[in-house]
A and B are shown apart, each in its own frame.
Chain A
Amino acid sequence: MHWRMKAVERVSVTINGAEYSHEVEPRTLLVNYIREQAGLTGTNIGCDTSSCGACTVHLNGESVKSCTLLAVQADGEDILTIEGLADGERLHPMQESFRECHALQCGYCTPGMVMAAVSLLKENPSPSEREVRLGLEGNLCRCTGYHNIVKAVLHCAAGASATNGGAQ
C-alpha cells in the first residue's frame, strides 16, 4: 500500500496580473497548476527531467522551469507566462523578433524559449552569439536547429524588431 498525503493545500498566485487561488495536492508541479488549474496551456511540457525548458515562465521576473517547482512553492508569488507577455495586441519585441526571424516552426518549444530569451536579455542586454547559445542551452528545440532562434535574440537585442522601433 502506498503512503499518500491526503491533504490538499491552498495556493494563491498572480499570473499575468490576475489572481488565482486553488486547493491542490501538495505534490502538484507548478507547470501542471498553470496548465490545469489556471487553464493557461501556452506553457508546455517536453520532458520529465527538467531538461527541455518548454515549461519556462517568469517567477518574480526571473525565468524558471516551472516543472522544477511545486505549485505550493510559488504561493504568494508573481508569475508571468507567454500569455501575459504581449501588451494587448502589440507583441513584445522578443515575440516580434521570433516572428520576423522565423525562429519557430512547430511552436512547441516557443513559449518557453521566448520567456527564456526575454530573461536572457534582461541579464545581458547585448550578448554575443556565443553568449546567446550558452544562455539558451537549457531550452531545447527540435525544429529550428537554433539558427533562427539565436538570430532572433540578437535581432531583438539590437532593437531591430518592428515593435522595438527598429527597421526590419
Chain B
Amino acid sequence: MVVSIMGTRVLRKEDPKLLTVGGTYTADLRDARLEGAAHVCYARASALGAVSGVDVSGALATPGVLGVVTNSDLADFPLQPPQMDLFPEEMLRRSWLVDDAALFVGEPVAAVVAESVVAAVDGAEAVEVIYGGGEPATVIDLEDADGDAEVIFGEVGTNLALNLETVDMSTGFSDGDFFEDCEVVIHQRVENHKVAAVPLEGRSVACCWENGSLTVWMSTQAPHLVQGVFRNVYDLSRKDCRIIAPDVGGGFGQKVNHSQEEMLLPELARRFGRPMRWTETRTENLIGFGHGRAQVQRVTLGGDADGKVRRYRLEVICDSGAYPGVGAFLPYFTHLMASGTYDIAEIETRCRSVVTSTAPTQAYRGAGRPEATAAIERAVDIFAARCGRDPVEVRAQNLIAPERFPVTTAVGTEYDSGEYARALEKALEASGYEDLRREQARRRAEGDPRLLGIGVSCYVEITAGPAPGGKEYAKVEITPEGGARVLSGAFSHGQGHLTTFAMLASDSLGIPIEQVEVIQGDTAQIDKGVGTFGSRSLQLGGSAVCDASNQVIDLARETAADILEAASADVVFDAEKGFHVSGAPAVAVSWADLAERAEAPLSADSNFFAAASYPFGAHVAVVEVDRETGEVTLERMITCDDSGPLLNPMVAEGQRHGGIAQGAAQALIEEMRYDPWGNPVTSTFADYGIISAAELPSFELVVMETPSPHNPLGFKGIGESGTIGSTPAVQSAVVDALAHLGVTHVDIPCTPERVWRALS
C-alpha cells in the first residue's frame, strides 16, 4: 500500500538553499548577461507642486554618472498603458517621470544612470527640481478629497476617480427609509486606514537587450502578467520578451502590478547601450508604491431588538492615491463581501474612489475583502451591544446556516460551501470563551487596571475571484529517467510551491517527490501563466498540475498497453507499481520504461479554470489594555481558518501565521501617514511601525476542512485568511476591554494615544 503524501507535513525543498547560501534575489544575480550593467537611481519629488524644470547639471557633473533622463527626454517614448481604464481619461495620462507637476511626494522625476549604485545615488541627490508655476492642490485626507475641497485634476473638475455604481460594482442607495421596518438601527463611521505592504525585499529589476530581444529579471508575483505589459510598452513578441523572476522576497500584493520605475528600465538600457539595474531602498518602497486599504466606511445596520439582523447599508470611500489604478477598483471586493458570514435580507452599497495627493494605492494582502469584514464585524458588534446581547450570541443567531449552501447573498455573491457556526464554535471552544468572560468580569469587579478584552470575528472571503473565477497553467513532463518536471504559471515567492506542487504531481504519478522538479518564474520555459496573488495558486495552479498529471497518465496508457501487449482498456495505473494489466500487478511498466520507449517526451498541459471559492473562519483575540497608559498587549490569537482540504498543513499554517500577524499589525500599530503638506512621515522602518516578534504572541490554530465544490480536490485559498479575520478580532477585543466604560468604537490602529483618549 502506498501511503499518500497528500495532507502530510513534507519539509520544503526550497529551504536548504535559502538556509545555507541564501536565495538568489534580483540584486544578487551575477548573470553573465548583466556583466557591465549600469545602475539607476531615481531622483524623486521632495514636495508637491507645479514643476517648471529639472536642473540635472549637478548630477551630470557627479563622478561616475553616465547620464540623466528626465521626462522631456522621453517625449518620443510611448506612455505606458494604464493598469485599468475605468477612470477619467485625464487621470490616466500619467507621464513616465514628473512632467509639469509632482502629484505625490516621492514621484520619480529623473533617472540617474551611473557606473555604480553609490554614484547613481550621489547623482540623484544633485538633481534639482525647480518648483513654480502655480499653487498645488493638496488633498491628503480622503474625505476632504471626496468633498472636492480642492480638486487635483482641474480638467476633470472632481476628485472622483470611480463611482463603482456606474459600472455595476456597487448597488447604490435607494430612496425612502431603507430601515423603516427595523426596531434597532446603528450607525458608525469606520476607518480602515492606509498601510504599507512592505515585503522585506523591495522592488528590484535588471534587464538587458540582445539583438532586439529583451530579458528582464524582476522581483514580481506575476511574471506572465508583467510580460504582457513589457511587450505592450516595447512592442515585442512573446519570444523576444523574456521575464525571469528569480527568488522573490515577499510580495503581499505589492508586486502583482508594475510601476513606472520598473517599466522604464529597458528604455534606459537601450539608450545607454548597457544592461541596467535598479533596486529600490526601503524608503522608496514605503513612499513610492503600493499602499493598501485606505478606506473610510459608513455602516448602518438594522434589525429586531432580539438581535436578528435584517438590513445593512455600507458606504465606502476609497483613497486611490494620485493616479488611480488597481487600488481604486478594490472597493468592488468590499461590495461583493458586504454580507460577511451573515444572513441579511437586504443590503445596499455605495462605493467610490477618489484621488488624493499621495502615492497610488494597490492591492495589499486581502485587497478589498478585509475591509468588508472589518465593516460588517464592527457593525454587528455595535448592533449586539445596542441590543444588550453578547456579540457571540448575536453572531450565532445571524450566521448563514450550512444547509443553505451554495447560497447567494443580498449583493448577489454566491458562496460555495461553509459551516460558519461550527468554525465559530471551534474557535470559541479553543479560546475557553466562558472562562475569559469570567476573568473579565472578575477584573472589572475588582477594578483591575489591566483591562481584559475579548474580540471575536467571523469572516468569509473570495479566493481565485471575483466571479466567474480564474485560470492557471501547468505542464507536466516525464523526464528520460522517469522523473517528472512541472512547469507552472503560478509563481511562488514564499508560498512553497516547489514542494507542494511536487507533492501533487508525485501523488498523481507515483513518482517520489525527490524526482519531481517544479519550475516557475520564467516566461521562456513556461508557455503561459498568470501568477500568485489573491490566494489563487493551489486551487488553480495546483489543480492544473493534477489535471496535467492525469492527462499524462492517460497518454502513457497506450504505450504501456503496447509494451504489455494488452488492450489499453485492460491496463490500469496505480501509483505504487505503475501500469499493469488489471489483476496482474506482477508485470508492470514504470515511467522510466515508458520514457525510454516514447519518441517525444511524455507531457500534457492544462489551463485550469475554476470558479472562485470562499474560505471562511472565526478568530478570537484576547488583549490586555493598560488603563493608565492605553497600551494594548495582544495576549492570545485563536483562529479557525477553513480553506478546504490541506495539502501540506505545515505550509498552510505558515500562511495563516503570517496573515494573522499582518492583520493584527494593522489593528494595533501599522499606519502609513502623511503630513498636511503631503510629506510621508512614516518613510522608514524607524517610523513605520512594522510589527516585530516582541509585539506578538504565538498563535493558537484550530483546524477545519470544508471542501469547495469548484475544483476536484476541494481546495480553497489560504494566503489571506489570517489577515482578514485578525484585524477585526483584535479591534473588537480592544473595544471590548473598554466596553464597560461606555466605549462602543475605537478606530484602528488602536494606538495607546487613541485608546487613552477613548478612556478619558
Contact = CB atoms under 8 A, between A and B. Distances in A.
A72 to B, nearest CB: 15
Nearest to A146: B693
Contact of A51 (B12, B686, B693): B686
A143 B19 contact: no
Interface in B648-704: 650-651, 653-654, 657-662, 684-686, 690, 692-694, 696, 698-699
A7 interface: no
B19 A98 contact: yes
Interface in A46-62: 46-49, 51-52, 54
B200 A41 contact: no
B693 to A, nearest CB: 4
A139 B699 CA distance: 19
Given A2-B126, A41-B28, A145-B662, A52 B200 contact: yes
A146 B200 contact: no
Given A42-B21, A142-B250, A99 B698 contact: no
A45 B686 CA distance: 15
Nearest to A94: B19
B413 interface: no
Chain A contact residues, majority secondary structure:
loop
Chain A interface size, under 10 / 10 to 19 / 20 to 34 / 35 or more: 35 or more
Contacts of A45: 27
Interface string A126-168: 0001001110111111111111111100000000000000000
Most buried by A among B494, B684, B696: B494
B686 A105 contact: no
B287 interface: no
B693 A107 contact: no
A131 B653 CA distance: 23
Contacts of B684: 47-49, 51
Nearest to A104: B18
Contacts of A83: 20-22
Interface string A84-117: 0110000100010011101011111111001000
B198 A142 contact: yes
B199 interface: yes
Contacts, number: 183
Interface in B1-45: 11-12, 14-16, 18-25, 27-28, 30
A95 B198 contact: no
Most buried by A among B27, B199, B496, B654: B654
Contacts of A1: 61
A150 B12 CA distance: 18
Nearest to A100: B11
B699 A43 contact: no
Most buried by B among A25, A109, A141: A141
Most buried by B among A27, A137, A139, A144: A144
Given A4-B63, A48-B283, A107-B494, A82 B20 contact: yes
A47 B196 CA distance: 14
A39 B18 CA distance: 16
Most buried by B among A1, A142, A146: A142
B135 to A, nearest CB: 32
B304 to A, nearest CB: 39
B696 to A, nearest CB: 6
B62 interface: yes
B698 A129 contact: yes
Given A49-B684, A82-B20, A106 B654 contact: no
B201 A108 contact: yes
Nearest to B22: A42
Contacts of B459: none
Contacts of B21: 42, 82-83
A132 B692 CA distance: 12
A143 B699 contact: no
Contacts of A107: 14-15, 18-19, 22-23, 247, 249, 494
A63 interface: no
Contacts of A48: 281-283, 684
Contact of B696 (A86, A108, A109, A146): A146
B354 to A, nearest CB: 29
B212 to A, nearest CB: 31
A152 to B, nearest CB: 11
B720 interface: no
Interface string B38-74: 0000000000000000000000011100000000000
Contacts of A39: 30
Nearest to B198: A142
Contacts of A148: 653-654, 657
A66 interface: no
A148 B661 CA distance: 12
Given A49-B686, A104-B15, A142 B199 contact: yes
B62 A49 contact: no
Contact of B250 (A2, A106, A136): A106
B693 A137 contact: yes
Contacts of A150: 693, 698
B122 interface: yes
A44 B27 CA distance: 9
A39 B25 CA distance: 14
Interface in B494-549: 494-496
B16 A99 contact: yes
A98 B14 CA distance: 12
A133 B126 contact: no
B252 interface: yes
Contacts of A25: 118
A95 B200 contact: no
A109 B662 CA distance: 16
Nearest to A136: B693
B493 interface: yes
B248 interface: yes
Contact of B494 (A49, A54, A106, A146): A106
Given A49-B684, A147-B699, A132 B15 contact: no
Interface of A: 1-2, 4, 25, 27, 35, 39, 41-49, 51-52, 54, 82-83, 85-86, 91, 95, 98-100, 102, 104-111, 114, 129, 132-134, 136-151
9 contacts: A41-B24, A42-B22, A48-B281, A82-B22, A99-B19, A104-B18, A106-B494, A140-B200, A151-B698
What 4 A-B pairs have minimum CB-CB distances, sorted nearest first? A108-B249, A42-B22, A145-B661, A106-B494
Given A83-B22, A110-B18, 6 more contacts: A102-B653, A106-B248, A132-B693, A136-B692, A137-B694, A143-B250
